[in-house]
Structure 1
Amino acid sequence: MALFHIFLVAIIQGITEFLPVSSSGHLILLSKVTPLPDQGLAIDVAAHVGTLGAVVIYFWKDVRSAVVGLPRLATGQIDTEGSQLAFLLIVATVPVIIAGLLLKVSGLNEMMRSISVIGWTMILFGLVLWWADRYSGQAKTDKDWNLTDAWKLGMWQAIALIPGTSRSGITITGARRLGYARTDAAKLAMLMSIPTILASGALLSIDVATQSDITILRDGAIAAVFSFFAALVALILMMRLLRAISFTPYVVYRILLGIALLSFAYS
């Protein structure tokens, strides 16, 4: 695989994984509207590992707390901040795992990988994000996260399996509708990405496990490094910008891209 192709895939994945604009939608488009071939599952897994590293480092304090709380959670005790966070993240991940397995077994995940689907979801869920951000309160913080909200956000996150929806975007939408402030909604969406990426990476790794080619391993390592730095920069910028602006610029981008894609798909 050409170095430029690896770099392009990793940068797209890294930048768009945490922005509410759909990383999967952009990666599908890369092979649909350019001469470049599909990058394959191995590179997908590697790029996801890179973005996972970025969110873990950025939210290290919370991640460390959840990891430390896992042993207590394993014994059925949810009496510390860390064990509670770990429990809520697990609960929020259950819906997307179930939905992802159903889509994979049914084959619907491949059927939805089209430019027209991505175009419509870009516009539709962009407008839903704008509506939720514009007309929702901001009274809750991430400290108010509870079991009910974790399950609801998990259901919102499962919708992101439709290409073009954006995992972070739809989760932020759900959090804003529940009354979380912008930065706290984004923080919950980012923390929820950790077990979700781990779960999806594990699922993809099953398909990749038989590939022991040293070239694939090398390409994957390069993709992971590039996507890590791209994701970290994108995450830092987004979290800083949210203190001053709303999600409207991302919505405008989604709508313009969606219109362009639909024009291309139906022309």
Structure 2
Amino acid sequence: MDWLQVVVLAAVQGLTEFLPVSSSAHLILVPVLTDWQDQGLAFDVALHVGSLTAVIVYFRHEILRMAYSALRALGGKGVDDDARLALWVVVATLPVCIVGFLLRDFISLYMRSTLIIALSLIVFGLLLGYADFFKRDTRSEYQMGLKDALIIGFAQVLALIPGTSRSGISMTAALMVGMSREGAARFSFLLSIPVIVLAGGLEAIELIRQPDPIDWLTLGVGTLLSGLFAYLCIHYFLAVIKKLGMQPFVVYRVLFGAWLLWFFYV
């Protein structure tokens, strides 16, 4: 890979991993608009490591409090808001892990068409717009209950459909159960941690089995850039939705989906 390819792919991964616009939809454009060869599994793992590092660093204080409170709760010293939030993250992660494991091969073979991606962008984008306009409330991620976590968790399963966007559908579900924009976004970002760990772990296992040589310099730069773009994305996204809400991303999704339909099918 040349350095332009490294920068572009790191930017696409770092930004679209957390924005409600679907990383899969954007990644299909890279080979369409360029003559670049596939970047390989090792670089994919590196980009995910960068995104994971960014979200952990950004929410480091919340994560430490959640881990400390969860350990105290397991030790019988009571359950506080941070321990409950840690539990809701686990509960909301289980459905997508189970379904993703069972349907992984089916999704890879039959669900990655441009048509599905384009329609998912439009349909789930409009659903996000509806939830943001009509359903949002003032509850934070610390005011969730078991029912809320389950609804968000099962909604996140839909993210297995390319074009849906994991962050987008989890924010949509969170808004639908009455969470604020910031609460929905922050819980979605926390949910990304176990999902990226598990998905990246499966890729890492496949990578270990491959005998191909590894370009550590390229991987290191890709990881660093992906993490930087992801960190900036999280920071500015939380600031933007306070003022503008989700509607700019809804408009972008609908226009992007319509463009994909026109580009590939007209």
TM-score by length of 1: 0.93
Find the counterpart in structure 2 of residue 195 from structure 1. Answer: 194
Structure 2 distance, partners of 1:78, 1:59, is 23
| 1:242 Cα deviation after fit | 1.3
Find the counterpart in structure 1 of residue 157 from structure 2. Answer: 158
Equivalence map 1:37-186=2 (5 Å): 37-72=37-72, 79-104=79-104, 106-186=105-185
SS at match of 2:242: coil
SS at match of 1:107: helix
Structure 1 contact 140–181 (Cα < 8 Å) conserved: yes
Find the counterpart in structure 1 of residue 223 from structure 2. Answer: 224
Structure 1 contact 109–162 (Cα < 8 Å) conserved: no
Structure 1 distance, partners of 2:76, 2:209, is 37
Alpha-carbon distance change, 253 to 74 in structure 1, aligned in 2, over 3 angstroms: same
Deviation string 1:133-176 (CA, Å, 9 cap, x unpaired) is 11103132112112221111111111111111111111100000
Matched residue type, 2:86:
A
| 1:86 Cα deviation after fit | 2.0
Find the counterpart in structure 2 of residue 204 from structure 1. Answer: 203
Alpha-carbon distance change, 156 to 266 in structure 1, aligned in 2, over 3 angstroms: same
| 1:81 Cα deviation after fit | 3.2
SS at match of 1:231: helix
Structure 1 distance, partners of 2:55, 2:170, is 15
Structure 2 contact 10–223 (Cα < 8 Å) conserved: yes
Alpha-carbon distance change, 199 to 176 in structure 1, aligned in 2, over 3 angstroms: same
Find the counterpart in structure 1 of residue 11 from structure 2. Answer: 11
| 1:7 Cα deviation after fit | 1.5
Structure 1 distance, partners of 2:95, 2:83, is 20
| 1:87 Cα deviation after fit | 1.6
SS at match of 1:83: helix
Structure 1 distance, partners of 2:25, 2:43, is 16
SS at match of 1:36: coil
Deviation string 1:95-122 (CA, Å, 9 cap, x unpaired) is 1111211222x43223222222111111
Structure 2 distance, partners of 1:112, 1:35, is 24
Structure 1 contact 29–115 (Cα < 8 Å) conserved: no
Whether 2:257 is the aligned partner of 1:258: answer yes
Find the counterpart in structure 2 of residue 23 from structure 1. Answer: 23
Alpha-carbon distance change, 218 to 178 in structure 1, aligned in 2, over 3 angstroms: same
Structure 2 contact 82–142 (Cα < 8 Å) conserved: no
Q: Tell me which moved more, 216-225 or 197-206.
A: 216-225
Deviation string 1:150-207 (CA, Å, 9 cap, x unpaired) is 1111111111111111111111000000010111111111111111111111111111
| 1:31 Cα deviation after fit | 2.2
**Structure 1 stretches lacking a partner, 5+ long:** none
Q: CA RMSD in A?
A: 1.9
Equivalent pairs, count: 266
TM-score by length of 2: 0.93
| 1:214 Cα deviation after fit | 5.0
Structure 2 distance, partners of 1:214, 1:85, is 42
| 1:73 Cα deviation after fit | 5.4
Structure 2 distance, partners of 1:78, 1:92, is 22
Deviation string 1:12-35 (CA, Å, 9 cap, x unpaired) is 010111111011221133224432
Structure 2 contact 155–173 (Cα < 8 Å) conserved: yes
Matched residue type, 1:237:
Y
